[in-house]
Amino acid sequence: MFERVLIGIDLSPSTDALLAALPRMRDAGVGSLTLAHVIPVSYVNFAGVSHEDRHRAALEEKGRDVQAMGFACDTVLRVGDPAVELLAIAEEIGATLLVMGSRGQNRLEEFFLGSVATQVLRHATLPVLVTPIGRDVA
């Protein structure tokens, strides 16, 4: 049913909560995963320096963690609008499901700031599974 699954991650501490649910997907027959992380352009422009190598290393580490769970897994790193890039990656790899977490913004935050999950859901042409992962404590 879902042969090729794309997992959108933001590399925050909440990523581990999302990845912890993956063994249940393996039990449901999912075998091939792509982990994707998108560095927002606004972050790159604000920081003034590229942290792409650091993001790539963290993403590849998460990919190895997923492989240790018994999945075939590859990784994709992009810079851009996270919702736009995740949907583009899904199309490029022929994903049959997109999985991502949501931190549960309240309605006012979502209205003014939007959320990646909301934007993906509005524009997706494939099934999307959004799982609540809580807010990061900073």
pLDDT in tens, 22-31: 988 888 888 7
pLDDT digits 0-9 by tens, 47-102:
555 678 899 999 999 999 999 999 999 999 999 999 999 999 999 999 999 999 88
Tokens coding 83: 């919702």
How is 10-38 classified by DSSP, letter by letter? --STHHHHHHHTHHHHHHTT--EEEEEEE
The CA distances from residue 132 to 49, 77, 85, in Å, are 31, 23, 21
The CA distances from residue 120 to 58, 63, 94, 99, 100, in Å, are 23, 22, 16, 10, 10
Tokens coding 74: 């590859």
Query: What domains, with CATH codes, occur in the chain?
Result: 4-132 (3.40.50.620)
Measure the CA–CA gap between 86 and 72, rounded to whole angstroms. 19
Half-sphere exposure of 120 (CA within 13 A, CB side): 27
**pTM to 2 decimal places:** 0.85
